[in-house]
Structure 1
Amino acid sequence: MKVAKFGGSSVADSEQFKKVKAIVKGNDDRKAIVVSAAGKSAAEPIKVTDLLIKIEQLRDTGEDYLPTFNHIAKRFVAIRDELGLKVAIEDDLRIIKDQIAQANHDYLVSRGEFLTAKLMADFLGFQFVDASRFMIFNEHHFDFQQSEKRLKSIASSGSRIVVPGFYGVDEDSHIHLMPRGGSDISGSILANLLNADLYENWTDVSGIKMADPRIISQSRKINELTYEELQELSYMGISVFQEEAVQPAKEKRIPIAILNTNHPEEDGTLVVDRVRETAANLVTGIAGKKDYVIISISKYQLSKRLDILSKVFAIIQRFDIAFDYLPSGTDSFSFIAKRSAVSNQLNAVIRALENEADLDNVKLEKDLSLVAVVSDQLGKRPAIAGKILDMLDNSQIQIHLVIQESSDIKLIFGVANQDYEKTIEKIYRNVNMTEKKLRMAI
């Protein structure tokens, strides 16, 4: 049995709905379908989810949100009518409209998935199952046991169902949103609950590219990668798959196929527990993010000075800043965060560390990017890291830091924002041009 999730671009209009139906009907094993809210199309430059967020903003500032709501309503009615469906979507739209004045954020923003799934279920002739009936969250943690129990009582083993992605409910039965891109998570969770043989993630690209195609126009497609590699690449910025969607499938070793709704005949990317040795490349993928800051602190034998470290972390806790990485040494410690996470508190944090923590030095670096090279070969062949460092050094790209985590599948370079694209391009070009030489050298 397969669980298939279709992203916003795959359900943007009636023509995309027809492509989804052809895919689903092309294989009887596709019994559980998850959909995102209708996304962008040639005629609709704004995603439904973004329009719903706009409605909330207009409502909260006392402005007229009805024109925006009416636009959303016309869009769903048009899809219904163009497909010749009979579902009374106007009734659902009327209920949502009546709720806007008092609706909370999670309820309002989730309605795009709800309406899209209603139409898709009718179009496919499948049972519509609202995610609020079985996707249960206990605080911010998903309750697999209770959710599985509820799902079994709703759908029989042979049921063909359509489920809206992106949301569930909390223990008080209030709508609970997942992070943006959460329909990926919904699909992975549903695959887990149903013990699927395969989780298909249908989007508008034919798999995952080795590097950002906006930087490398003809980037090589990754045919296979591991769950861990996908998780690291997703965390570092590839937008094809949501990072938190990996774990539910990984837990039950359910393969993930990332495929293209517009070109279902093309091979995509398969995510598995272990890549075939003959298919393994020295570098699986390259990803990154811009606009980081690094706060570096130093003190003689800092790693042994728990009194000072406790002061440092008390300051960090006081400012409630989320850091992505915390590399450390005997005498030093670094805090790496997105500039947006530090916001306007950066100078205040530096002053507090300088004045309150008895440190020898506090250093701040701004406008940095993190570029990650991901491969399960890194731990097996340590010389790869050295080869890449030599190559960047020869390219006169200044490396501000290097991080290799204990997982041994990700190597991170800190470079100036202005060198971000250049760094990715240099690594990609050189790795692909010299891969045979690298294999021989190692």
Structure 2
Amino acid sequence: MKVVKFGGSSVADVKQFRKVKAIIQADNRRQVVVVSAIGKSLQQPIKMTDMLIELERARDLGEDINEIFESISERFLKIRDDLKIGLVLEKDLLEIKDNLFTCSHDYLISRGEYLTAKLMAKYLGYKFVDASLVMIFKENGFDYGASKRALLKIRSKYQNIVVPGFYGVQIDKSIQLMARGGSDISGAILANLLDAKLYENWTDVSGILMADPRIVDHSQKIDILSYEELQELSYMGIGVFQEEAILPVRKKQIPTKILNTNDPKASGTLVVGSIDRQIEKRIITGIAGKKNYTVITIKKYQLNRHIEILQQVLSILQKHHIVASYVPSGNDGFSFLCQQDSSNPNLESAISNLRNSCNLDKIIINKNIALVAAVSWQLSQRPSLAGKILDFLDNSRINVKLVIQEGSNMKVIFGVNDADYERTIVKIYQEAEFYKLSKPA
């Protein structure tokens, strides 16, 4: 049995619905289907989730909501009518409108997935199962036990089901959203609960590429990678798969395949627990990164002996609601990496507080820093690879501000100026490909 998830671009319009049905019908093992809310299309360049957010904004500001609500309704009803499925959605839409001024944020935003799943279930001839029945949260996280019992009870009656992604229900029956892009997580959890043979994640790309194709032309596809490699790439912003969706399938060692709804015959990318990489010649599995970091480096003589100062620094950052990663930079220094966020104006205030309160010898501030991660299973076996990459960048006159290699020893992170971000990714990719072809590992 397979659990399959289709993202917003896969259900964006009638044409995409038909592609999904063809994919489902091509393999009768695709019995549990998870869908996101209607995504962007050529005719409709706004995601349904964003339309619902706009509806909520208008409601909260006391603006007229009727035009926005009608646009939302028309998109769902057009898909229904064009597919010629006998589903009465008007009652659901009326219920949403009636609840609009009293409902929670999570309830309103989740209605995109709810209605999309209803359409898909009717179109496929599958049973619609509201996520609130089988995705159950408790106070400290997801309740795997209660969710599994509820899901198996439903599956004992209905083999083929469609479940909305992105949300579940709290103990008090209130709707709870997951992180944006949470349909990936929903699908992974359902695969875990049902001990699926395979979790298929259908999107609009034919697998995971070595590097962002907007930066690297004709970037090579990664045919197979480990959960650990995927987690490192997802954490650094590869974007194809939610980082939080990895753990549920990794726990049960359920293979995950990233596939393209628009090109279902493409091989995609397979993610598994472990890989025999003895014949692998590529020195880098993938490259990912993020821009707009500020690096705060604090200096104090023998800082490693002054734990109280580090505690004070962390307390100040926490007080200003700044999330920071930190790494040692010698016996006398620590660096804190904070992502610059225009919605959080507290960074300058926090820096001022650090200067005045922590009895430091020096504070060095580097703004507009990009972090670029090169992920490779070979890094743990061949530490010199980090040096080779540094040589690549030095030869291109790219100024590397910091280097971080820790944790799993599967990735090395280079801090460069934002202006050098794209050039850094291109250089690492080009040299890695050259090394693969000319000097097999």
Give the TM-score taking structure 1 as reference length: 0.97
**Residue 323 of structure 1: CA displacement?**
1.4
Answer whether contact 1:327 1:403 (CA < 8 A) is retained: no
CA deviation map 1:202-243 (0-9, x unaligned)? 000000110000001200000001101111111111111111
Which residue number in structure 2 is paired with residue 402 of structure 1? 403
Which residue number in structure 1 is paired with residue 98 of structure 2? 98
Following superposition of structure 1 onto structure 2, how do residues 205-284 of structure 1 map, counting pairs within 5 Å? 205-277=205-277, 278-279=279-280, 281-284=282-285
Which residue number in structure 1 is paired with residue 29 of structure 2? 29
Q: State the aligned residue count.
A: 440
Which residue number in structure 2 is paired with residue 51 of structure 1? 51
**Residue 342 of structure 1: CA displacement?**
8.2
CA distance in 2, matches of 1:245, 1:144: 14
Percent of counterpart pairs with the same letter? 55
**Residue 102 of structure 1: CA displacement?**
1.3
**Residue 438 of structure 1: CA displacement?**
4.6
Answer whether contact 1:73 1:93 (CA < 8 A) is retained: yes
Following superposition of structure 1 onto structure 2, how do residues 360-399 of structure 1 map, counting pairs within 5 Å? 360-399=361-400
**Residue 276 of structure 1: CA displacement?**
2.9
**Residue 365 of structure 1: CA displacement?**
0.7
CA distance in 2, matches of 1:219, 1:123: 36
**Residue 280 of structure 1: CA displacement?**
6.3
Counterpart AA for 1:125: G
Answer whether contact 1:224 1:279 (CA < 8 A) is retained: no
Which residue number in structure 1 is paired with residue 287 of structure 2? 286
Counterpart AA for 1:372: A
**Residue 157 of structure 1: CA displacement?**
7.3
Measured on the aligned residues, the alpha-carbon RMSD in Å equals 1.4
**Residue 341 of structure 1: CA displacement?**
7.5
**1:162 partner SS:** strand
Counterpart AA for 1:275: I
CA distance in 1, matches of 2:330, 2:346: 25
Is residue 339 of structure 2 the alignment partner of residue 332 of structure 1?
no
Is residue 313 of structure 2 the alignment partner of residue 312 of structure 1?
yes
CA distance in 1, matches of 2:151, 2:165: 15
Which residue number in structure 1 is paired with residue 121 of structure 2? 121
Give the TM-score taking structure 2 as reference length: 0.97
Counterpart AA for 1:223: D
4+ residue runs over 2 A deviation = 278-281, 324-329, 436-440
**Residue 316 of structure 1: CA displacement?**
1.8
CA distance in 1, matches of 2:60, 2:292: 31
Answer whether contact 2:282 2:435 (CA < 8 A) is retained: no
**Residue 279 of structure 1: CA displacement?**
4.2
**1:296 partner SS:** strand
CA deviation map 1:291-327 (0-9, x unaligned)? 0001110111111112222222221222121114444
**Residue 167 of structure 1: CA displacement?**
0.2
CA distance in 2, matches of 1:324, 1:116: 38
CA distance in 2, matches of 1:61, 1:327: 47
**2:413 partner SS:** strand
Is residue 20 of structure 2 the alignment partner of residue 9 of structure 1?
no
**1:33 partner SS:** strand
**1:386 partner SS:** helix
Counterpart AA for 2:104: N
Is residue 70 of structure 2 the alignment partner of residue 70 of structure 1?
yes
Q: Structure 2: any 5+ residue segments left out of the alignment?
A: none
**Residue 329 of structure 1: CA displacement?**
3.2
Answer whether contact 2:282 2:433 (CA < 8 A) is retained: no
Q: Which moved more, 1:139-148 or 1:258-267?
A: 139-148
Which residue number in structure 2 is paired with residue 134 of structure 1? 134
Q: Structure 1: any 5+ residue segments left out of the alignment?
A: none
CA distance in 2, matches of 1:434, 1:316: 42
